Amino acid sequence: MESARQQTQTVCYHCGEVCKEDLVMTDDHAFCCDGCKVVYELLKENNLCSYYSIDQHAGISPKLKNFQGRFNYLDDPVVQQKLIRFNDGETTVVVFSLPQMHCSSCVWLLEHLYKLDEGISQSRTEFLRKEITIHYNPQVTTMRKVVELLTTLGYEPLLSLDNLSGKEQKSPQRVRVYRIAVAGFCFANIMMLSFPEYFHITEEGDHQLQTFFSYLNLAISLPVLIYSGGEFFQSAWQSLRAKFLNIDVPLVLSILITFVRSVYEIVSGTGAGYLDSMSGIIFFMLVGRYFQEKTHHALQFDRNYKSFFPISIMLRKGKETEESIPLTNLSVGDVMVIHSQELVPADSKLLSDEAHVDYSFVTGESAPVKIRKGELIYAGGKQTGGAIECEVLREVSQSYLTGLWNRDAFNKGEKVHTTFIDRLARNFTIFLLALSVGGFFYWLPTDMTRGLNALTTVLIVACPCALLLSATFTNGAIMRIFSRNKFYLKNPAVIESLAKVDHIVLDKTGTITNNVIKVKFYGDELGEVELEKVYSLVRHSNHPLSKSLTSHLSFCDARPVTDYVEIPGSGLSGRVDGIEVKIGNAAFCDVDDQSKTSFHGARVHVVILGHYAGYFGFERSFRTGAPEVIDGMKSAASLSFLSGDNEAERESLQKLAGANTPMFFHQTPENKMDYVKSLQDDGAFVAMVGDGLNDSGALQQSQVGIAVSDDVNNFSPACDAILEGSAFGNLDRLFQLAKHAQRIILASFGLSLLYNVVGLSFAVTGTLSPVVAAILMPISSISIILFTNGLSHLSALKLKLNH
């Protein structure tokens, strides 16, 4: 008997569940089932047992069953294609939903899958969305084996028919609305039935009726407790199972105390209880969570879908007609025209003869992959040859593109530091429980009711969410304002980096200049055939000068181009009708740039069949608002200018920025990157503003890389932000807004801290009603949302930005 009792009290070393029936022993550890033992042995075999040191009993019991053959359908190529995000024969990318992911141990284990299956190269979790992105080699392992491994570990992917058909799953917010409706209906009726009790207007002869109303209130409160409050109980239980105290634990404790106290008073006939308070607690907490989730959903929608890829895409509308449309308007069946160095935004079928696609954005490997006509090109690839045409096969997933943008391969190596707020999050609940129990025992000897009020209201009124989410709400509001001003950030962390910038490096061509007023050719007169060759070559390029020249020569007919090569910052080469053509700067074309002195602006030299024909001269203007932007940035940070062109515009730049502002010309992409690094070596916090093509190295090297986009698909994963060219005049004020955001975060943190201090001060005295505490708690979160949004919009208004 003693042995049996001991067995029932033994908890599983892996998942923490009580070993009720089959006790399995291995290495002096007890397991509740063979499934947990298998997972432990798998981790031990691969030296991953430090998993248990992160959170004790953090594992999930897979309750191992015979699933042999259960996932065989994943070997079907048709099914695989619906789940695969990318596949080049050597790397396959899939994204799975894992509802079981619940703690840091889960994240740690899931991001070490490569140690459990040699075919898996990397796995990255998205904790808030409960998703995992897995890269594996299909020649070593299969999708079925990957899913079986996850299932063995206790993380069976959610593979429903909706996933495979691409349908949207129902939002959990709908269930919360039902719970709010039930809680609100019951709360209102309980208050109505308790109305005589509030004002002590019951007569002596109404005692039986009063008792009946009390029991009726108890019956009405049960759906509120069981159904509406279910999500709080479930969250608290999961937290306790994971050996962690989240904010729902004290909330559930206060609900139970209020309910038990009410049942006791009603059954004993000593009072009417506090079922109105209990129902109010649940109702107002659900309403607060609903609005908080709506805010988070809006932030996530902005983050993933609305505005993070402000690139436009060229569509083929006829044999000789192209039209630029926003990426969000791209539909299945559209024919895209993708130029050199442009991103392929959606899964598509190649209509041109061949393409050379760089998938480094997806896999980290930069070697171009040759794609033939009719083959599939995956979203995220970048065309490295001439212009190609593709037919869209699948709608654009901006959340997927954003996920690629935030891959570890493109981060700047920032380290995450443990902050005061992080420590507060871990210790707040423990402090709250201690304070509530202390308040209860303090008042217990003199006033039992007051002690119970202190116990419950302290647990309810405290709101760590307002403290912990001050930065989240502020950054969310600022990111929305940025997007309305056509400035799109990689992630919220970029806002803090923008506020720290003390040196700004500006590229000239395509960044502070854009409008080509006049294009003129200097040299041998070019005939119609030669102009067609130039036009045919430059139309494949996305460089600002190539775009201007393409527009200037739009009257020409396009000829077939082969052997197309583009060297960023230098020029283009290829064969047009079999004739070699080179177009670019003087060094690329091997000519003396000073030999032609009749024009002092930007030049693009032309060499046809080895013969130097001359150069196109470009007269340009600065972007609208450029003088004001430069003045504004000079007052907040040091400035430098870099350009791959000659020094023809040095004088005009000096008039804008001052004669002492550093300016460097004839800069290659490598020169630009080295200059940024030299500034950083001197202690500067650098922002690089460039065109996203020739400046990718400098954008990657800088702490903040900003790519300026002029309605073209010149996205670079190295950048941290994209600014539409039409909004360049706002750039200095956008930097200022980022600095304002840091002050708003501090102010909102101070406000939420003040709320908690004042609220807890009243609650611990036992004079605060539980239902009032339940109203104040969500109001605090909502007030922080209103406060941060209000100050953010006020800052934007003062800076004359769209808000």
Instruction: Please determine, for residue 375, whether its predicted confidence score (pLDDT) is greater than 60.
Output: yes
Could you tell me where the DSSP H helices lie in 84-206?
104-110, 143-152, 161-165, 172-193, 195-199
Q: Which two tokens stand for residue 358?
A: 């760089």
pLDDT in the model for residue 685: 94
Residue 79 pLDDT level (bands cut at 50, 70, 90): confident
Q: Where are the domains of the chain?
A: 2-54, 72-159, 172-296+417-474+741-798, 305-406, 486-514+623-739, 515-622
* CATH architecture for the domain at 305-406: Distorted Sandwich (2.70)
Choose the weakest-confidence range: 147-156, 409-418, 580-589, 659-668.
409-418
Burial status of residue 492 (CB atoms within 10 A of its CB: 0-12, 13-18, 19 or more): middle
Question: What would the mean pLDDT of 380-395 be, rounded to a whole number?
Answer: 84
pLDDT in the model for residue 480: 82
Question: What would the mean pLDDT of 501-514 be, rounded to a whole number?
Answer: 84
Q: What is the helix (H) or strand (E) element at residue 530, kind and residue range?
A: helix 528-538
pLDDT in the model for residue 326: 73
pLDDT in the model for residue 585: 87
Residue 364 pLDDT level (bands cut at 50, 70, 90): low
Instruction: Please determine, for residue 569, whether its predicted confidence score (pLDDT) is greater than 80.
Output: no
- DSSP SS3 for 348: strand
Question: What would the mean pLDDT of 697-712 be, rounded to a whole number?
Answer: 81
pLDDT in the model for residue 23: 67
The model carries a pTM of 0.62
Helix axes 230-241, 248-268, angle to 10 degrees: 120
pLDDT in the model for residue 223: 94
State the Cα–Cα distance between residues 775 and 787, nearest whole angstrom: 18
Which residue in 672, 601, 658, 592 sits closest to 630, CA to CA?
658
Question: What would the mean pLDDT of 349-369 be, rounded to a whole number?
Answer: 79
- Residue 514 contacts residue 584 (beta carbons within 8 Å): no
Q: How many helices (H) and strands (E) does the chain have?
A: 29, 28
- Residue 618 contacts residue 603 (beta carbons within 8 Å): yes
Question: What would the mean pLDDT of 785-793 be, rounded to a whole number?
Answer: 86
Residue 22 pLDDT level (bands cut at 50, 70, 90): low
pLDDT in the model for residue 268: 84
Choose the weakest-confidence range: 457-471, 714-728, 778-792.
457-471
pLDDT in the model for residue 424: 54
Residue 781 pLDDT level (bands cut at 50, 70, 90): low
CATH, domain range 486-514+623-739: 3.40.50.1000
* 601-635 tens-digit pLDDT: 778 999 999 899 989 988 777 888 888 999 889 88
pLDDT in the model for residue 576: 92
Can you list the positions of beta strands (E) in 635-715?
A: 638-642, 663-664, 686-690, 704-709
Q: Which two tokens stand for residue 701?
A: 């090297």
pLDDT in the model for residue 206: 65
* 233-251 tens-digit pLDDT: 887 786 676 566 666 777 7
pLDDT in the model for residue 304: 44
CATH T-level fold of 72-159:
Alpha-Beta Plaits (3.30.70)
To the nearest whole number, what is the mean pLDDT of the chain? 77
Is the model more confident about 656 or about 430? 656
pLDDT in the model for residue 574: 92
Instruction: Please determine, for residue 126, whether its predicted confidence score (pLDDT) is greater than 90.
Output: no
- Residue 372 contacts residue 354 (beta carbons within 8 Å): yes
Choose the weakest-confidence range: 94-108, 440-454, 471-485.
94-108
Q: Find how far residue 367's CA is from the centre of its chain.
A: 27
Choose the weakest-confidence range: 300-309, 323-332, 591-600.
300-309
pLDDT in the model for residue 502: 93
Task: Quickly list DSSP for 416-481.
Answer: PPP-HHHHHHHHHHHHHHHHHHHHHHHHTTT-HHHHHHHHHHHHHH--HHHHHTHHHHHHHHHHHH
Instruction: Please determine, for residue 18, whether its predicted confidence score (pLDDT) is greater than 70.
Output: no
First to last CA, the chain: 72
pLDDT in the model for residue 118: 87
pLDDT in the model for residue 535: 92
* 531-563 tens-digit pLDDT: 999 999 998 887 778 888 888 888 888 888 888
Q: What is the helix (H) or strand (E) element at residue 1, kind and residue range?
A: none
Neighbouring residues of 172: CB distance < 8 A, sequence distance ≥ 6? none
Question: What would the mean pLDDT of 260-269 be, rounded to a whole number?
Answer: 84
Q: What share of the chain is helix, strand, coil (3-state, %, to 5)?
A: 50, 20, 35
Report the DSSP pairing between strands 382-383 and 354-358.
antiparallel
Q: How far is CA 488 from CA 310, 402, 511, 602, in A?
A: 8, 11, 16, 30
pLDDT in the model for residue 419: 42
Burial status of residue 508 (CB atoms within 10 A of its CB: 0-12, 13-18, 19 or more): buried
Is the model more confident about 296 or about 181? 181
Share of the chain above pLDDT 70, in %: 74
pLDDT in the model for residue 201: 55
CATH, domain range 515-622: 3.40.1110.10
* 416-472 tens-digit pLDDT: 333 444 455 456 667 777 888 888 888 888 888 788 778 877 776 766 555 556 776
Angle at 185 between CA 184 and CA 187, to 5 degrees: 60
